[in-house]
Amino acid sequence: MSTLPTLFQPFELGPITLGNRLVMAPLTRNRAGAGAVPQPLNAEYYAQRATAGLIITEASQISPQGRGYPGTPGIHSADQVAGWRLVTDAVHKKGGRIFLQLWHVGRISHPSMQEGGQLPVAPSAIKPAGDAMTAEGPAPFVEPRALALEEIPGIIASFRQAAINAKEAGFDGVEVHGANGYLLDQFLRDGSNKRTDAYGGSVENRARLLLEAVEVVSTVFGASRVGVRLSPINPFNDIEDSNPQATFDYVATQLGGRGLAYLHVFQAGTEPFDWRQLRKAFGGTFIVNGGYDRAKAEAAIENGGADLVAFGTAFLANPDLVERLQRNAALNTPNPATFYGGTSVGYTDYPTLG
Ligand code: 8OZ
């Protein structure tokens, strides 16, 4: 009798049994309907990928203020909850497991995407370099408005309500998006956070908003159904930190011991970084993402670099990625022209092995 490679064996993620160790990474696809409401087409897309051990959805704004792109879904209205229910039902019907990613973009937005044309918010009034992606195309980022201390409880309340909504929509859990230069990452890193109150300055203070968000979401779902995504050395969205290892080792230590579902790291970036040290600091289930193929994923799991491995573009282009990897079959080539926005083309029409 041959044993399955570990990658294809089940995994106990807290109270949830995953069919394998392959995770579908969160992927922004900009195909929600009017009102940022998920559609039947989105349910079809996720259901096609239900053989992933765990699906993490595309980032979903927790409030109108948290929006920064056309076509991204939200989790703050009743219609959005109903739309997401189509997705969770379709995935569960096929035996899949699915977490919703909770997102606030902070300064990575534009007045044209804010209610009443307001300025985007951020820890500090520092304009990122580059362009926002608006409905009319790229437009230079604007200088954001620094959140007042009195507004922070409102941000936490939005995370809480979004988690309540995600639970109502039938998700197995949620992932707090602390990565890629969005609001929580803007607070974590000292290049974008120049605050002098309890949410800025020391690493302890810069980590406060993320930890409070994780705490409040945990009160809704139970910590064992809450994951966190971080990207310590990713410069995406013009973000930087003077000492990522110290900043993120502290964050991982604080996240450890809370009984969270997992810590998920996006390993983009070129600065040196000790991922094993981060994993040790956290101490729980560790998901890695960024440039893995089957051999690298197996090696990471076998040599203690990770428990689970997330695949992004490979899942995007291969609904049956698990089967293909298991059989060492060829993979479809992703088409970047249809990544962000559009129709079913490049979304639900990638072929399976059949
Ligand atoms: C690509 C395009 C737009 C958003 C992220 C949510 O990087 C995103 C994103 C990625 O986390």
**pLDDT tens digits for range 219-242:** 999 999 999 999 999 999 999 999
Q: Is 101 in the pocket of ligand 1 (CB under 6 A)?
A: no
Q: Is 109 in the pocket of ligand 1 (CB under 6 A)?
A: no
- Give percent above pLDDT 70 in the chain: 99
Q: Residue 3 — very low, low, confident or very high, per pLDDT cuts 50/70/90?
A: confident
Q: Is the pLDDT confidence value at 2 over 90? A: no
Mean pLDDT value of segment 23-52: 99
**Which atom of ligand 1 lies at the shortest distance from residue 133's CA?**
3
- Give percent above pLDDT 90 in the chain: 99
Q: Is 316 in the pocket of ligand 1 (CB under 6 A)?
A: no
CATH topology for 6-338 is TIM Barrel (3.20.20)
Mean pLDDT value of segment 308-327: 98
Indicate which residue of 182, 199, 262, 292 is catalytic. Answer: 182
Q: Is 180 in the pocket of ligand 1 (CB under 6 A)?
A: yes
Residue-level pLDDT at 146: 99
Mean pLDDT value of segment 203-223: 98
Q: Residue 163 — very low, low, confident or very high, per pLDDT cuts 50/70/90?
A: very high
Q: Is 234 in the pocket of ligand 1 (CB under 6 A)?
A: no
**Distance from the alpha carbon of residue 76 to the mean position of ligand 1, in angstroms:** 19
**Distance from the alpha carbon of residue 296 to the mean position of ligand 1, in angstroms:** 24
Q: Are 52 and 354 in contact (CB under 8 A)?
A: no
Q: What is the pLDDT of residues 77-109, one digit of tens each?
A: 999 999 999 999 999 999 999 999 999 999 999
Q: Is the pLDDT confidence value at 245 over 90? A: yes
Whole-angstrom CA distances from 339 to 160, 177, 223, 248, 335 are: 30, 20, 32, 30, 7
The residue whose CA has the least distance to atom 7 of ligand 1 is 180
Q: Is the pLDDT confidence value at 1 over 90? A: no
Query: How much is the mean pLDDT over the chain?
Result: 98
Gap between the Cα atoms of 66 and 197, Å rounded? 22
Q: Where are the domains of the chain?
A: 6-338
Mean pLDDT value of segment 114-122: 98
Closest CA to 295 of 269, 265, 328: 328
Residue partners of 275: CB distance under 8 A and separation at least 6? 265, 267, 288, 305
**Distance from the alpha carbon of residue 28 to the mean position of ligand 1, in angstroms:** 5
Q: Residue 344 — very low, low, confident or very high, per pLDDT cuts 50/70/90?
A: very high
Closest CA to 127 of 66, 192, 172, 77: 192
The residue whose CA has the least distance to atom 8 of ligand 1 is 28
**Distance from the alpha carbon of residue 158 to the mean position of ligand 1, in angstroms:** 20
**Distance from the alpha carbon of residue 2 to the mean position of ligand 1, in angstroms:** 40
Q: Are 97 and 53 in contact (CB under 8 A)?
A: yes
Residue-level pLDDT at 354: 82
182 noted as active-site residue? yes
